[in-house]
Structure 1
């Protein structure tokens, strides 16, 4: 029995000594940087990547709203805003059913055609360090009607570009 315990203890001690080495963890960090413009929440946080619309039976989908700010490196240049594609929700279960969406930024109903937001309106004090005025980004059902049962998903892509000329 003693002859079995001594080699076992030696193995355990050697195992502990080997496990005392440092461990290296490599983490890849990425950043998507546009040095001219950004849109954040009104508190400066990153916009949520997912927003869930609630459903009211007999009525339709409830709009979702996020208060936002636009950050720019030039308070004198206007900002163009548009959608990258037609906003819609598609049924992910397999039924070819879709729900058209409407996207509003402040008072603008967004389309794929760029619309200009005046720099003097966005940055009334001329200060860009604290971002623009706070404006709601609202996504709603285009036509408020009841919807067929299903699991719907879609991507709304808002595109911001800085005007190339100072007004």
Structure 2
């Protein structure tokens, strides 16, 4: 009877260790993605557009709802990463202050596929005329050759 008790205890310990290892691996994997995303925001805020582009696949898509000054209503607006970068002089580069910072990152990951919901805060403008807002970015990510790549970002502001 004692042997059976010891056997059960040993089996429970082995099973709990395996679960702990899997939890630790998942946590490390999420940490890798959280670091990737934090670096993304840092590079974007530094306006290092060459480094920024390296986060994306060549045909990555950025999508939001946008209303130009002459539009009667908001529209669904989609850009390739190349189109987005071609417009930075009219956007982030048009003011001395531009910064986005992640506040909260939620990651769902399965093998080499992940999505990240990021709640962020942003500043844009000048010291005398600074616009601040918060919003959401949803990243679709794929790991290829040991590197994470942004496939798409969909974003909206809280305003």
Q: Normalised by the shorter chain, which TM-score bucket?
A: under 0.3
User: Which structure features the higher share of strand residues?
Assistant: 2
The TM-score, its normalising length taken from structure 2, stands at 0.25
Q: Which has the higher contact order (CA 8 A, sep 6+)?
A: 1
Structure with higher Rg: it is: 1
The TM-score, its normalising length taken from structure 1, stands at 0.24
